[in-house]
Structure 1
């Protein structure tokens, strides 16, 4: 019996050593930044069993075999369609503003297309009004409606959107709805799924979460995009989930979530449509390529001086693209840089870019929520405050709710708006989308919104911050240790 137990102990120890060696090798051969690699190695060696568990669930970016196979081939199959789109030379902007030139060149070389012109843009900040405008657009739809959201929570005005979608499907509109399995768990447990499918709406549960699937793929890779496409001409994108702001997480005591959405009419809907098509194909295996832009309709579009690029991230899309775009935008700033984000856990490169911008004379402001829905991120973000404040960055804490808007404004000209938070999860893992907009009028509108955020915020004083309790500094360091893993 003793021999048997000794054999079992030796076998377990051998398996443990092989697992540690295997993970160490994987960490070292991956092109990770040093803080991330060190965090993983320390986690694995200091708390080995927990560290091994976290590695297998959160350490490597992978999808299920079917998802991965489709993701690897979607762009090669779409090349013919993309070449046809490039032949529509009337939609492409030839020249960009000085501050936007670098980022648009990056997008052109990595994504193969110049910026798209002839779009009518509108910034929307009130969630209830956004929903009302959306419901109107749904009822006016003539051909198709496509949606993807991270969260759809039934109740309140979200149900009004559902009813509008059902009515449109019943009158013959082709409706597709894709929702993240984890983010929209309440929706998939509600009767709305059956009601919608019975009405003819194609409802897809993206990146399904189940006990079986956690052994087959990474469970924290999420479909975080927020996109609405109507008739291949009207599109919405931004930070808003499909929820009633007066009902969503109202028991948390944080108050209402503050979001920002962009409604656009024009040919940019076509490029967003190809992103939706790829996401749909990854989940269903079916391709639904959008129609090419209508030249006749574009003649009536007045705004031909602006330019938009769409950047998508996630498996199957250009790697590291959003991170590169953020860095390029920050380094392009000459006078003013304003950023809003609910989650501030930047990469080392982004942190240095922001600090460097302030140190070379750019007026840099970062607006984050005072009250937070994530304790981990709240404490992890605080460790960056001292370095940012020391560099001259102004950090504002928004007091009137949870500021969920994700925006960057460079020199009041170049705007970045979308779903991307300034944290590792958005930068490296999730399916995200960012609109890069070169338009001075749009920039002025965004500036007004950001200034309103600032007026409803409190500025962190560098001296007072340096005098915070010692236990808080220790807690911040502990969460900083975990920040590359968040």
Structure 2
């Protein structure tokens, strides 16, 4: 009997070290940042068994077997459609502003198409009013409505959107709704799920979370996009989830979530439709490519000097394109750079780019929430403050709610609006979307709302920050150690 137990013990030890060796090899063989690699190595060696479990849940980017197979070929399949879209030369902008040229060239070479003109772009800064405008558009829809959201929380004005969709489906409008399984768990448990399905709305639970799937793919890859498409002409995107701002997370005591959305009329809806089609195919296996834009779109009065690009990231999409776009945008700044983000845990490259911009004379401002819904990210972000402040970056902490807006404004001309947070999860893992807008009028509107954010913020003083308690510095370093894993 003792021999048997000894055999079992040595077998467990052998399996353990084989797993450690295997994970070590996979960490070292893949080119990662040094801090990320060191964090993983320390985790698996210092935390026996727990470290191994964390690795298998969060260490590698993968989807389910069927989804991964589709994702690997999805963009090449879409390129066939992109080639057809390129034939519509009347929608493409030939020349961009000086500050936007490098970024639009990057997008063209990485994603296959140039910036698109002939769009009417509206910046929406109030969530309740945004929902009211959206409901009017839904009731006006004639052909199709497609939506994807990370969070749909029933209640309040969100239910009014549901009623509008049900009404549209019943009168023959083809409605499709894709919601992240983890973010929208309350929706899928609510009566609205079955009521909307019975009305004819196609609903897809993206990246399903279940006990079985824990062992099939990592669970922290999420569908984080926010896209609305109506009649292949009207499109929405930005940071807003489908929630009532007066009800959402009010028990947390951090106030309302503050978001930005864009409403666009024009051919950019086709590009966003391609992204939606890719996401839909990854989840369902079916393709729903939008119709090519017609010349009728050009007859409507639009700003001919503006240009819009859509950047999509996630499994199956051009690798690292969001990260590259952010770096290109920051290095393009000559006079002013203003950034808003709820989660500030940048990569070393992004941190260096932001600091370098400030050190070469660019007026750099970062606006973040004073009150936070994530303790981990709140403390991890603090470790970057000293370096940013030393470089001359102004850090503003927004006091009136949780600033959830994700925006970048460069030289009052180039704007980036979307779902991407300045953290590892948005940069490397999630399905995200960012609109790149080269338009001075739109940028003026974005500048106005950013100034309003700053007016409702407190400026972090470098001298006061340097005198913070020693125990907070230790805590910051501990969470910084975990930042590559966040």
Cα deviation digits, residues 297-351 of structure 1 (max 9, x gap)? 3221321110011000000000000000000000000000000000000000000
Q: Which residue of 1 aligns with 2:211?
A: 211
Q: By how many angstroms is 1:79 displaced?
A: 2.7
Q: Which residue of 1 aligns with 2:171?
A: 171
Contact kept? 2:142, 2:173, Cα under 8 Å: yes
Q: Which residue of 2 aligns with 1:422?
A: 422
Distance 1:59 1:80 in 2: 33
Distance 2:375 2:107 in 1: 35
TM-score between both structures, scaled by the size of structure 1:
0.99
Q: Which residue of 1 aligns with 2:332?
A: 332
Contact kept? 2:82, 2:113, Cα under 8 Å: no
Q: Where does structure 1 lack aligned partners over 5 or more consecutive residues?
A: none
Structure 2 SS opposite 1:373 = coil
Aligned residues: CA RMSD: 0.6
Distance 2:129 2:76 in 1: 40
Q: Which residue of 2 aligns with 1:24?
A: 24
Distance 1:298 1:109 in 2: 25
Q: Which residue of 1 aligns with 2:412?
A: 412
Q: By how many angstroms is 1:379 displaced?
A: 0.2
Q: Which residue of 2 aligns with 1:373?
A: 373
Distance 2:226 2:245 in 1: 16
Q: Which residue of 2 aligns with 1:383?
A: 383
Distance 2:359 2:412 in 1: 19
Distance 1:188 1:319 in 2: 31
Equivalent runs, 1:182-261 vs 2, <5 Å: 182-261=182-261
Distance 1:171 1:90 in 2: 34
Q: By how many angstroms is 1:31 displaced?
A: 1.6
Structure 1 SS opposite 2:251 = coil
Q: By how many angstroms is 1:84 displaced?
A: 1.0
Q: Which residue of 1 aligns with 2:53?
A: 53
Distance 2:302 2:81 in 1: 27
Please say if 1:402 is aligned against 2:402.
Answer: yes
Q: Which residue of 2 aligns with 1:78?
A: 78
Structure 2 SS opposite 1:48 = coil
Structure 2 SS opposite 1:408 = strand
The size of the alignment, in residue pairs, is 486
Q: Where does structure 2 lack aligned partners over 5 or more consecutive residues?
A: none
Cα deviation digits, residues 405-450 of structure 1 (max 9, x gap)? 0000000100000000000000000000000000111111000000
Distance 2:117 2:33 in 1: 37
Q: By how many angstroms is 1:43 displaced?
A: 1.0
Distance 1:75 1:113 in 2: 13
Structure 2 SS opposite 1:400 = coil
Q: By how many angstroms is 1:2 displaced?
A: 1.2
Distance 1:300 1:474 in 2: 59
Distance 2:144 2:89 in 1: 25
Structure 1 SS opposite 2:250 = coil
Structure 2 SS opposite 1:21 = helix
Task: Flag the 1:31–1:301 CA change in 2: closer, same or farther, 3 A.
Answer: farther
Distance 2:243 2:118 in 1: 31
Structure 2 SS opposite 1:77 = helix
Distance 2:331 2:452 in 1: 25
Structure 1 SS opposite 2:395 = strand
Equivalent runs, 1:271-350 vs 2, <5 Å: 271-350=271-350
Cα deviation digits, residues 109-132 of structure 1 (max 9, x gap)? 111111000000000011100000
Cα deviation digits, residues 41-77 of structure 1 (max 9, x gap)? 1111111222111100000000000000111122232
Distance 2:426 2:100 in 1: 23
Q: Which residue of 1 aligns with 2:438?
A: 438
Distance 2:301 2:203 in 1: 33
Distance 1:98 1:367 in 2: 26
Q: Which residue of 2 aligns with 1:464?
A: 464
Distance 2:206 2:411 in 1: 38
Distance 1:303 1:92 in 2: 13
